């Protein structure tokens, strides 16, 4: 997953020894001034003259000798650096933000020119991986703001420090909103109406079936509403899923009023005391004005408690534009990203939550009903940066 972004970041963070000189990056190290004996007012005595007994005043100022302490075995510079790095790594595992473990009041101070060079490469790497422009800008500026002019532990290289800062910036982007779908459902009155919007081909109908399976495994009863009456195939597809899962489906024929189907499904759920209604909708291009009007009418009639945008992670920035249109039309509450297991670039997952300001509730990573995962920031970061 995210092979393109991972390989580019790996290449970016491994260039230090080949390209950048330590003195160029951190500036010349300040030499520690040598300590010299304090000058005395008395002239230096001739070496042939017998030493005189110290006066009373001199005796009082002579420091008392302390007992000799047992010397600890000295470590080489290489061994000291290795020990320090090991200690910092242990602290990093317990810290929520890794950058905090390498920042200190003493250590190496980075030059702005060297930092800009790496950040420019990072910026274009993110753009090539389909990361939205405003998100790439935010990550770059966030990293620069956190690093510029600060000092870092000498056991870390510049690339390690920048990589930690990038991870923290990505974490801040992904954690813009936290949304626990399972917890939210448990707090709602029945029937809870969840409406799904998105373009054809994104895996919207399959995502609905996965959510239905998840709800039933959690003890909830489900009603499906086949409101994509524009395509007979969509009704048939949802019917097959309903039969496999053993849940009720409300449907009409092709070209029926989608809002009427949604209304019937909600009324059925009320009369039969069902817990959740999952409303499928048509997925023609988001620029289709008739589609947008259909969505608005379904919202007015069914009054959904949650509106979910289903986006194809392979669509990149196009998925973000689709989400914006649906958000402007009906108001999106959260996002499900499909085909995340085949997303070679990873930019959509990183961008969509921040761009439209809505949380990612789930990611779909396969075709089976069980292949839907609650979105987790650390899970995403590990797949973007780690081996």
The interaxial angle of helices 377-385 and 158-174, nearest 10 deg, is 140
Of the two residues 4 and 309, the one the predictor is more confident about is 309
- How would residue 345 be classed by pLDDT, with cut points 50, 70 and 90? low
What residues does 276 pair with on adjacent strands? 192, 222
For the chain, percent of residues with pLDDT exceeding 70: 67
Is the domain spanning 97-175 CATH 1.20.120.140? The answer is: yes
Sheet-wide strand order for 151-152: 103-104, 151-152, 108-109
- Average confidence (pLDDT) over 182-199: 94
Would you say how long the chain is, in residues? 387
What residues does 363 pair with on adjacent strands? 337, 373
d(CA 146, CA 100): 10
231-246, pLDDT tens digit by residue? 888 999 999 999 999 9
Q: Would residue 288 be called left, alpha or beta, if left means φ above 0 and alpha means ψ between -120 and 50 degrees?
A: beta
**Token pair of 82 as six digits:** 């290795």
d(CA 242, CA 82): 59
> 């017998």: which residue's tokens?
50
309-342, pLDDT tens digit by residue? 998 887 777 888 888 889 998 999 999 988 887 6
Q: Is the pLDDT of residue 249 over 90?
A: yes
Domain residue ranges of the chain, discontinuous segments joined by +: 97-175, 181-375
pLDDT in the model for residue 378: 81
pLDDT in the model for residue 49: 47
Looking at 3.40.50.410, 3.40.50.300, 3.40.640.10, 1.20.930.40, the CATH number of the domain 181-375 comes to 3.40.50.300
pLDDT in the model for residue 44: 45
Peptide bond into 191 cis (omega under 30): yes
142-173, pLDDT tens digit by residue? 888 878 777 777 777 777 888 888 888 888 77
d(CA 259, CA 268): 14
In sequence order, the 6+-apart residues with CB closer than 8 A to the CB of 304 are: 193, 194, 195, 279, 298
Lowest mean pLDDT among 194-203, 336-345, 350-359, 365-374: 336-345
- Mean model confidence pLDDT for the chain: 77
């Amino acid at each position: 997953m995210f092979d393109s972004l991972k390989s580019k970041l790996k290449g970016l963070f491994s260039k230090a020894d080949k390209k950048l000189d330590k003195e160029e990056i951190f500036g010349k190290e300040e030499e520690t001034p040598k300590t010299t004996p304090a000058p005395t007012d008395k002239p230096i005595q001739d070496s042939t003259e017998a030493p005189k007994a110290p006066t009373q005043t001199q005796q009082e100022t002579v420091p008392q000798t302390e007992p000799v302490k047992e010397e600890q075995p000295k470590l080489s510079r290489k061994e000291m650096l290795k020990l320090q790095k090991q200690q910092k790594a242990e602290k990093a595992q317990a810290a929520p933000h890794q950058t905090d473990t390498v920042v200190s009041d003493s250590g190496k101070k980075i030059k702005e020119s060297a930092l800009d060079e790496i950040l420019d490469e990072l910026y274009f790497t993110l753009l090539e991986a389909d990361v939205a422009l405003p998100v790439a800008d935010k990550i770059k500026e966030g990293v620069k703001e956190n690093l510029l002019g600060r000092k870092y532990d000498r056991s870390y290289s510049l690339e390690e420090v920048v990589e930690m800062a990038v991870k923290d910036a990505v974490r801040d982007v992904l954690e813009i909103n936290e949304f626990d779908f399972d917890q939210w459902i448990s707090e709602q009155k029945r029937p809870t109406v969840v409406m799904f919007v998105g373009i054809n081909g994104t895996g919207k109908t399959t995502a609905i079936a996965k959510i239905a399976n998840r709800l039933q495994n959690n003890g909830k009863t489900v009603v499906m509403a086949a409101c994509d009456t524009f395509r007979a195939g969509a009704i048939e597809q949802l019917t097959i899923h309903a039969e496999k899962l053993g849940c009720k489906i409300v449907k009409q024929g092709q070209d029926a009023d989608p809002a009427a189907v949604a209304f019937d499904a909600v009324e059925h759920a009320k009369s039969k005391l069902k817990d959740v209604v999952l409303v499928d909708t048509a997925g023609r291009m988001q620029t289709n004005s008739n589609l947008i009007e259909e969505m608005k009418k379904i919202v007015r009639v069914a009054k959904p408690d949650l509106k979910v945008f289903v986006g194809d992670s392979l669509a990149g920035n196009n998925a973000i534009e689709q989400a914006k249109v649906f958000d402007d039309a009906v108001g999106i509450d959260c996002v499900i990203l499909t085909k995340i297991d085949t997303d070679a670039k990873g930019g959509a997952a990183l961008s969509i939550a921040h761009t439209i300001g809505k949380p990612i509730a789930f990611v779909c990573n396969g075709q089976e009903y069980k292949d839907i995962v609650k979105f987790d920031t650390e899970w995403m970061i590990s797949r973007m940066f780690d081996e």
